[in-house]
Amino acid sequence: MSFSTFVATRYLFSRRKQAFIYVISLMSIMGVALGVAALVVVLGVYNGLTTDMRDKILGAQAHGVVLGSLPDSFSVEPDILKVVQDTPGVTGATPFIYSEVMLSAGTGVKGLILRGIDPDGAPKVLSMLRSIKRGNVEDLKNTTPPGIIVGEELAKRLGLAVGSRVNLLSPSGQKSSAGFQPRIRPFAVAGIFKTGMYEYDSSLAFVSLDVCRELLGMESDYLTGIEITVADLDKAGIVTQALNDRLGHRFYARSWQDMNANLFAALKLEKIGMFILLAMVVLIGSFSIVATLVMLVMEKTKDIAVMMSMGATRSMVRRIFMCQGCIIGVVGTAIGNALGLLVGTLLKKYQFIKLPENVYTLDHLPIIITLPDVLIISASALLLCFLATLYPARQASRLKPAEAMRYE
């Protein structure tokens, strides 16, 4: 142990004559610890909520989509699905049709986003179709009347259950002797899904591809696009860029990051704001470090003069008080990390903070504490504590031994 570290430890934790300074030192440590613990827990909750939202979005959407630049792009190149499936990084692909229709039941009418899907391939790409609350995706195939899968919120609003009869109205229309009339087709509810996202559960429905083409009056090879899954979510942009390079001018690909860029950019900005706000708690703790060291310098003026008279250099005196502040920072940060991880583990295991399901997308407070967040929090706390030592340490090193001894 160096001379500076030894003296710093003695000054900081000696309780014989400086009980007040000892108590202030403990308060400084606890201030830093509480700030670090709050940051660890709050950022862990943020990560949990963001991840849950991302998973719910990606349950109803694919990791990426391939769309046509022209209306007949998929008709001109029918083998495009095989090309997409063979692209490195793509783990699944399924065609889809996207349209807006009206759904009418005995109790009301509602506008819908209608998705035509392949009942065999879509569940491999859209995770929500693998865990439908009631019914089955397989029931969309070869039924009379054709089947439709709707969201739970829509089912509650219109009083629907599996087997209920509804009508879909397509605005594309069909030509008759009286002019263009909307297409109306009867359907039977084959399943009810629940994502936890109100926008999806209240205004999204699925039918088979062939039935969707017939309802919309489209050609037998018409497609809106191809949905894909990738091996690594974070590399979806790289895969879609490879698809753009490979598919040519008739098609273009977009990743889930591109399609939800505004949402996740706003969430990231909120995370930065929360970090800065809660870092103020650590900053308050670092202010108490300044007060502790200033009082210690005033208390130890005679000791500093004696050490400098015996050969201690100004840099050694400066390091003594810098070491004291760093010890407070290290101990406080360690306690804060331990406390934050403990609270996070208890929250994750016992879920004792419940959330109202009708307000949030889940019924408990999720938490995901990541190593990068813990390292950033720890580094920030240690930096603030170190900066808090600079002024008291500088003042201590500028003491003149003769003047200090004269007034003691």
Task: Encode pLDDT of 296-317 as tens digits.
Answer: 777 777 777 777 777 777 788 8
Instruction: Give the tokens for residue 317.
Output: 């005196």
User: Helices in 68-112 by DSSP H: which ranges?
Assistant: 73-76, 80-85
Is the pLDDT higher at 397 or at 49?
A: 49
Q: Say if residues 67 and 225 touch (Cβ distance below 8 Å).
A: yes
Q: What is the amino acid identity at position 127?
A: S
Is the pLDDT higher at 175 or at 289?
A: 289
242: pLDDT confidence band, cut at 50, 70 and 90?
Answer: very high
Q: Range with the lowest mean pLDDT among 1-5, 32-36, 330-334?
A: 1-5
Residue 139 has pLDDT above 90, yes or no: no
Give the predicted TM-score (pTM) of the model: 0.78
Q: Say if residues 286 and 32 touch (Cβ distance below 8 Å).
A: yes
Is the pLDDT higher at 16 or at 83?
A: 83
Closest to 327 measured CA to CA, from 391, 385, 374, 282 = 385
Closest to 226 measured CA to CA, from 68, 69, 55 = 68
What percentage of the chain has pLDDT greater than the value 70? 91
d(CA 70, CA 46): 41
Q: Say if residues 328 and 8 touch (Cβ distance below 8 Å).
A: no
What is the separation, in whole angstroms, between the first and last Cα of the chain?
Answer: 30
Give 185-200 pLDDT, tens digit per residue. 999 999 999 887 888 8
Instruction: Give the tokens for residue 278.
Output: 């809660």
pLDDT of res. 170: 85
Helix (H) or strand (E) holding 2: none
Characterize 210-227 residue by residue with b for buried, 16 or more Cβ atoms within 10 angstroms of its Cβ, and e for exposed.
bbbbbbbebeeebbbbbb
What are the backbone dihedrals phi and psi of residue 135, each rounded to the nearest 5 degrees, phi first? 90, -165
